[in-house]
Amino acid sequence: MNIPLARPDITEAEIEAVVHVLRTPNLSLGPKVEDFEKRLAEYAGVYDAVAVNSGTSALHLIIRALGIGEGDESTVNSNE
């Protein structure tokens, strides 16, 4: 069985935005990331937000922020 992957939905505007950032010294930090974090916090109705490089990094930070450690038990509910 051949299950095709979804095609990326990338427009010229996104390509131009990436090229613009690539021409600056700010690839992982800088005004675009700061703006994204600010807008995300406003959208979520929280004081602050932090952008990370992956979902795994986000989960790691969540566990650390909650103080979950060795010997603790947690459950995950993916049925929303």
Q: Tell me: the pLDDT tens digits for 3-58?
A: 888 888 999 999 999 999 999 998 888 899 999 999 999 999 999 999 999 999 99
Does 80 score more than 70 pLDDT? no
Q: What is the pTM of this model?
A: 0.66
Name which of 79, 72, 50 is nearest 62 in CA terms: 50
- Interatomic CA distance for residues 8 and 18, integer angstroms: 15
- Interatomic CA distance for residues 44 and 6, integer angstroms: 28
pLDDT given for residue 64 in this prediction: 93
CB-CB contact of 6 with 12 (8 Å): no
